[in-house]
Structure formats: C-alpha cells, structure tokens
Chain A
Amino acid sequence: MAAARRLVLTGCCQALKLTFTSFYRSVKNMPSEVEELRRPGLVQRVLIGKNPMRTLVRVVIWVVLIVAIRTYVLLPIRVEGVSMLPTYKENGINFVNCIAYAFHPPQRGDVVAIQYSGKSIMLCKRIVGLPGEVIAFHEGHIEINGEVLDEPYVKRPCNWERPPKRIGPNEYYVVGDNRSMDFEQHTQGIADRDKIVGRILL
C-alpha cells in the first residue's frame, strides 16, 4: 500500500515538474528537449542557416539578381590589345555599363564597347565623332567640323592624315587612344548606334 502511494506521489511530482518546465520554457522561449534534438549543428547553421527553405529562397533570389545584372547591366570584360593605351592597360579587368545610354545618347569622349555579332568579343574604343559631324585627321590631330579636337588622353603623337568624312545619323566615329601605329593597323571608324553595347565603367 505504501509502495503504491509512493509510486502515485512520484508520478504526480514528475507530471508537475514536466508541466512547470514546459510552462517555464514557453514563457522564456527556450527550446524543448525535442527541439534541442532537432536543432541543426553549427556547420549546418553556418552553411545553410536555421531555416533551409528561407536560405534556398535567398540563394535563388541572389542567383537570379546576379545573372540579370551580369547579363543586362554590368558586363565584365578583360581588355586585350594596345589600342587603348595608356588609358586601359592590357589584361585589365573592367565592366561595361549596358544601361549607360538608356536615357541619353553617347557623348564625345566616352569609352564604349562595340560588339561584333554578339557580346563575347567586343571592341573598346573612344567616341570622337557624333552623328552629323564631319571628321578628319590632319597632322595627327582630329578635326571636327574643321576645328581641332582637344584630346588630353592621347599621350602618343601620330601623323595620321585622312580626308574629311561625314558621319551619318545614328552613327559615331570611334578610335583608340594609342595612335602610335600606322592608320591602317589601327582599328577605327564609324560604328552604328545599335553596335554600341555600353560605356566602359572604370
């Protein structure tokens, strides 16, 4: 009889203890023993976070955002060749701002990326002539509508001579900053507006 009473008392004590503990934990917002067992380890928490679904959503949003920015806004490029020396050195990493001309047309002096059939390989040149202007090279200087263009970015003089040429509407005359080579060896000329991908960022 005494043993049965002790068993009932012990059971009641245990039940009370459990009730108070769970109440205390719920009040203090402490995880229960089951929750503690379910709690992810440190490595998992660092790599995935406490809520894997939320982390997955975040990762997807970031990936979509990065791909969209990389494709439509900032195009990473590596500069090859010497035609833009000394402004851009060989093997330098840069970006093309593809939305630079979304609200205004290209300006004189802008260094732009010009595409071939796509954006895998592009030309990097400076705009010197705008639509409707007449451009000529005389004694190594660019003349726009008969007036010499001031070009502080050209550090290597040249002796290029070219007769005046009219730039059509929606066309831009582009040339590199390094003019130390012969005119024929330097890739330059008139580019259509739709070939200009964007402005070089840095």
Chain B
Amino acid sequence: MRDWFVRLAFLGTLCAALFCSWHWLFPSPQQVIRKRLSQLAAAASIAPNEAPLVKLAKAQRLSTFFAMDARVNVDIPGRAVQGFNGRDEIQQAAIGARAILNTLKVEFVDVVVEVGPDKKSARAHLTATANLPGEKIPEVQELEIGFTNIDREWLINQAQTIKTLR
C-alpha cells in the first residue's frame, strides 16, 4: 500500500514537472502576451531619479511594443481625449510624459487574453493602475489592447480606454 502511494506520488510529481517544462519551453500565445504586458508595464514605469538617458532609452523601448501603425485612444473622464497614431507619435508622447513625471509605477491586473481563431491576433482586457507622485490612491483605468502577430512577435496594434461607468 505504502509502495503504491510512493509510486503514485512520484508519478504525479513527474507529470507536473513535464507539464511545467512543456509550458516553459513552448508557451501558449496567452502566456506570451501576458509576459509582454508585464514587460510593457515595467517599461512604462519610471523609477525615482532616473537618468535622462535611461528615460530616453525606456521611452524607445516602450515604443517597440507597438506596431508601426498602432493606434492609442485615451478617454478618461475629467481629462482631455487624446489619440496617438503610429509608433513615432507614441514614442514622442512617452518621452513627453517622462519629462513631466518624476516617478510612475504602472501595473496591469486582472488580465484576460483572448486569442483569435487565426492565432494571428489577440485582445487583452485588463485593469491598469498608475501610482502618480504625490497621490495616495492609484489611478485605475480599464483598458482593451489589441495584439497582432508580426514575424512571430506579438505587437500592440490598438489600445483604448474603456469607461467602466458611462
């Protein structure tokens, strides 16, 4: 009985290890997109006392997450509606934001990823939180981000804010 239990436990552990290894070696599109989003959040964040060159490099890195023809629409209640077309415009906006802000911590939570039937496009529905300097409560915004697979790389082709309350 005890031998059987040990064998069963060993078999279970082996199966779990194989399952984890498989997912680590061949991640699903959902996993890849989730990882891209966490990298995007890290690139969008600004560490305190960040050097100007680092700020510029991170702004350039941020733009690499977007496709060349990407469109970003920002419509937050109480603020002006903004739209950015193309990677260059997004990069300029990121550089401008970094010039104004000293620190910023961006996080994406409750990420729901849906991959299209063609496996070439995907949509991510998420909640973004941004801790701005001098504010106790983070800014919270629901977002919908569209991805497209270009040269085996998932790039953002569309991003827009969603009004939770209309």
Contact = CB atoms under 8 A, between A and B. Distances in A.
A and B bound?
yes
Interface of A: 80-81, 114, 116-121, 123, 125, 174, 184-185, 187-191, 195
Chain B interface residue number, banded: 10 to 19
A184 B77 CA distance: 7
Contact of A117 (B78, B127, B137, B163): B127
B100 interface: no
Contacts of A189: 77, 163, 165-166
Contact of B110 (A80, A119, A191): A119
A188 B164 CA distance: 9
Contacts of A116: 110, 127, 140, 142, 164
A121 B78 CA distance: 21
B112 interface: yes
Given A118-B109, A121-B127, A121-B140, 20 more contacts: A81-B137, A114-B165, A116-B110, A116-B142, A117-B112, A117-B127, A117-B142, A118-B110, A118-B127, A119-B110, A120-B110, A120-B127, A121-B109, A123-B165, A125-B165, A174-B165, A184-B78, A187-B77, A187-B165, A190-B165
Contact of B166 (A118, A185, A190): A190
A194 to B, nearest CB: 12
Nearest to A171: B166
B129 interface: yes
A20 to B, nearest CB: 36
Nearest to A190: B166
B164 A121 contact: no
Listed from nearest, the 8 A-B pairs whose CB atoms lie closest are: A118-B110, A189-B165, A184-B78, A116-B127, A117-B110, A120-B109, A116-B142, A117-B127
B41 interface: no
A117 B141 CA distance: 9
Interface of B: 77-78, 109-112, 125-127, 129, 137, 140, 142-143, 163-166
A75 to B, nearest CB: 13
Contacts of B126: 117
Most buried by B among A80, A118, A119, A123: A118
A125 B126 CA distance: 21
Contacts of A174: 165
B165 A185 contact: no
A120 B129 CA distance: 11
A85 B143 CA distance: 28
B38 to A, nearest CB: 15
A114 B110 CA distance: 14
A191 B127 contact: no
A114 B163 CA distance: 12
Nearest to A119: B110
Contacts of B77: 184, 187, 189
B74 to A, nearest CB: 16
Nearest to A116: B127
B112 A118 contact: yes
A114 B164 contact: yes
Nearest to B79: A184
A74 to B, nearest CB: 19
A129 B125 CA distance: 27
A81 B75 CA distance: 22
